[in-house]
Amino acid sequence: MPVKIFKRPDSQVWHYRGTAAGRRLRGSTGTADKELAKRIASEAENRAWKRHLDGPGASVTMAQAALAYRSAGKSARFLEPIEDHWQDTPIREITAGAIRASAIQLYPNAGPATRNRQVIVPTQAIINHAAELDWCAPIKVRRFRIDTKPKKPATREWVDAFTDSSSPHLGALCLFMFGTGARIGEAVALTWADVDLEARTATIQKTKMGDGRIAHLQQPLVVAIANIPSNRNPHEPVFRYLARENVRKAWDGTIKRAGIEKLPPHSCRHGFATAMLRAGVDVKTVAERGGWKDVRTLLETYAHAIADPTVTDAIFGTDLTRYDPAQPVSDGKIKGNSE
């Protein structure tokens, strides 16, 4: 909308607001003189257009912005297809709608989550990093809607049945993911140099979400890892798999032998989050311990784990009384059996 001046109810000073060159303008003119206020607002609008047409962002291309983003040490994951798509397109010509369209073009057969993760998020990050350098205006892109379905978590009973029918290293792998919330890629990348059984810790190195973390090893997990046959070479993978793809065949075979429901390795991570949330651990702690960078994502994905309507019983404490219509009410109290 055009830039206009206005007064707030409790002020005699004129303010201005509006849009120019794709940027939202808002501020105080610092004067009660209407004509002077109009001139000040007009100059603010002119500066925005001059910056857009002649400023540093006027000729900055996506290729240059992506290079600056990489040089700043930001994650390069998913960047190459985006760079190839936009090449030397000026940033100011890249709109939110065009970014959404590029996600469909780059990943025509992918779901909304993939398009969000691999196109919208990194493209927006590149442009907003350029905005921090005063090369352009920041951008906000609407994500593709994701219909989140409750994920099937592994339970402790499922994990125990799996480990009883597996090799020591595969059983320990399963238990590690369930006990720490590690992703399969993080687990297979674990080396003996990352593990300190005496301190009961494992260092999960830099992950797809950015930072690494220190995982606590519960006693059953310490025992399982200690029982893996190995010469404990510091550079040797703890669970003996070189890549996540190597796990699938042995994983499915163990499930078949155990006669349990077929669940993927990632269900152990789901089991970690579900068990922690149902145990009453706060969401922030669960996210930190399991390596979720975004608490909102954790909540959206695992809301079913804490969707117990009886949690409101806590208002009246834990010593609850069940209402029995056969029992009379005396002195304002329900006579019944304690829960």
Specify the higher pLDDT residue, 23 or 104.
104
Using the predicted structure, report yes or no on whether residue 302 has a pLDDT greater than 60: yes
| Residue whose C-alpha is closest to residue 142's, from 111, 94, 99 | 99
Identify the pLDDT of residue 125.
Answer: 95
What is the SS3 assignment for the chain? CCCEEEECCCCCCEEEEEEECCEEEEEECCCCCHHHHHHHHHHHHHHHHHHHHHCCCCCCEHHHHHHHHHHCCCCCCCHHHHHHHHCCCEHHHCCHHHHHHHHHHHCCCCCHHHHHHHHHHHHHHHHHHHHHCCCCCCCCCCCCCCCCCCCCCCCHHHHHHHHHCCCHHHHHHHHHHHHHCCCHHHHHCCEHHHEECCCCEEEECCCCCCCCEEEECCHHHHHHHHCCCCCCCCCCECCCCCCHHHCHHHHHHHHHHHCCCCCCCHHHHHHHHHHHHHCCCCHHHHHHHHCCCCHHHHHHHHHHHHCCHHHHHHHHCCCCECCCCCCCEECCEECCCEC
This model's pTM is above 0.75: no
233: pLDDT confidence band, cut at 50, 70 and 90?
Answer: very high
Identify the pLDDT of residue 108.
Answer: 94
Calculate mean pLDDT across residues 157-161: 96
> Interior CA angle at 57 toward 117 and 89, to 5°?
55
Using the predicted structure, report yes or no on whether residue 328 has a pLDDT greater than 70: no
Cβ atoms within 10 Å, residue 224 = 21
Identify the pLDDT of residue 326.
Answer: 47
Class of residue 168 by CB neighbours under 10 A (exposed 0-12, middle 13-18, buried 19+): middle
206: pLDDT confidence band, cut at 50, 70 and 90?
Answer: low
Calculate mean pLDDT across residues 306-310: 60
Calculate mean pLDDT across residues 227-256: 93
Using the predicted structure, report yes or no on whether residue 31 has a pLDDT greater than 80: yes
Using the predicted structure, report yes or no on whether residue 27 has a pLDDT greater than 50: yes
333: pLDDT confidence band, cut at 50, 70 and 90?
Answer: very low
CB–CB of 203/271 below 8 Å? no
Calculate mean pLDDT across residues 93-97: 93
Identify the pLDDT of residue 183.
Answer: 92
Half-sphere exposure of 246 (CA within 13 A, CB side): 12
Identify the pLDDT of residue 94.
Answer: 93
Using the predicted structure, report yes or no on whether residue 309 has a pLDDT greater than 80: no
Identify the pLDDT of residue 53.
Answer: 62
Using the predicted structure, report yes or no on whether residue 321 has a pLDDT greater than 60: no
- For the ranges 44-48, 157-161, 165-169, which has the lowest average pLDDT? 44-48
Identify the pLDDT of residue 304.
Answer: 63
196: pLDDT confidence band, cut at 50, 70 and 90?
Answer: very high
% of the chain beyond a pLDDT of 70 = 83
Identify the pLDDT of residue 257.
Answer: 96
- In degrees and rounded to multiples of 5, residue 5 shows phi and psi of -100, 155
Rounded Cα gap, residues 180 and 20, in angstroms: 50
Using the predicted structure, report yes or no on whether residue 312 has a pLDDT greater than 50: yes
Calculate mean pLDDT across residues 120-143: 92
Say which amino acid occupies 206. Answer: K
For β-strands 333-334 and 329-330, DSSP reports them as antiparallel
Query: Whole-number mean pLDDT of the chain?
Result: 85
Rounded Cα gap, residues 270 and 126, in angstroms: 31
CB–CB of 219/307 below 8 Å? no
Using the predicted structure, report yes or no on whether residue 293 has a pLDDT greater than 60: yes
Using the predicted structure, report yes or no on whether residue 154 has a pLDDT greater than 60: yes
Identify the pLDDT of residue 146.
Answer: 80
22: pLDDT confidence band, cut at 50, 70 and 90?
Answer: low
Radius of gyration in angstroms for the set of CA atoms belonging to the chain, rounded to a whole number: 28
Architecture of domain 156-293 in this structure:
Orthogonal Bundle (1.10)
211: pLDDT confidence band, cut at 50, 70 and 90?
Answer: low
Residue ranges of domains in the chain: 4-54, 62-132, 156-293
